[in-house]
Structure 1
Amino acid sequence: MPQGAPVLAPAGYSDFCRRQPADCGLQTSGLTDVSLATPAPPRLGPGLWSRLNRINAQVNRAIVARTDRDAFGLSDYWQTPLADGRGSGDCEDYVLEKIRALVAAGVPRSALNIALGVTPEGEMHAVLLVSTAEGDFVLDNRTLSVTAWASARYSWVSRQVDGQPHLWASASPLQLAAR
Structure 2
Amino acid sequence: MTTKTFLKAGLIGALFSAVAAHSALAFPANMTTDGPTNPPVGHYEFCRSLPQECGSNPGSAAPGVLTREGWKKILEVNYEINQAVTPMTDKEIYGVEEHWAYPDKVGDCEDYVLLKRKRLIETGFSPADLLITVVLQPNGDGHAVLTVRTDRGDFVLDNMRNKVLLWSETEYTYLKRQSEQNSGRWVKLQDGRTVAVGSVSQ
Q: TM-score, normalised by structure 1?
A: 0.86
Change (3 A) 1:65 1:11: same
Aligned Cα root-mean-square deviation (Å): 1.8
Displacement of 1:151 in angstroms is 0.6
> SS at 2:161's partner residue?
coil
Size of the aligned set, in residue pairs, is 166
Change (3 A) 1:173 1:102: closer
Bigger shift: residues 164-173 or 65-74: 164-173
Unaligned runs of 5+ residues in structure 1 are 26-31
Instruction: Say which one has the larger Rg.
Output: 2
Q: 1:143 aligns with which of 137, 143, 161?
A: 161
- Distance in structure 2 (CA, Å) of the matches to 1:53 and 1:163: 25
Give a deviation string over 1:20-59, Cα, whole Å, max 9, x none: 223x24xxxxxx3443x42532212211111000000011
Q: 1:74 aligns with which of 81, 96, 107?
A: 96
| Residues 133 and 178, structure 2, Cα contact 8 Å, conserved in 1 | yes
Change (3 A) 1:142 1:109: same
- Distance in structure 2 (CA, Å) of the matches to 1:94 and 1:60: 7
Q: Give the equivalent residue in structure 2 for 1:164.
A: 182
The 5-angstrom pairing of residues 1-179 of structure 1 reads 1-22=31-52, 24-25=53-54, 32-35=55-58, 37-38=59-60, 40-82=62-104, 87-162=105-180, 164-172=182-190, 174=192, 176-177=194-195
Letter in 2 for 1:66: M
Give a deviation string over 1:34-87, Cα, whole Å, max 9, x none: 43x4253221221111100000001111111000011111111000013xxxx1
Unaligned runs of 5+ residues in structure 2 are 1-30, 197-202
Displacement of 1:100 in angstroms is 0.7
Letter in 2 for 1:147: L
Change (3 A) 1:39 1:173: closer
Q: Structure 1 residue runs of 4+, over 6 Å off? A: none
| Residues 110 and 164, structure 1, Cα contact 8 Å, conserved in 2 | yes
Give a deviation string over 1:5-29, Cα, whole Å, max 9, x none: 310111100101111223x24xxxx
Displacement of 1:147 in angstroms is 0.5
Report percent identity of matched pairs: 33
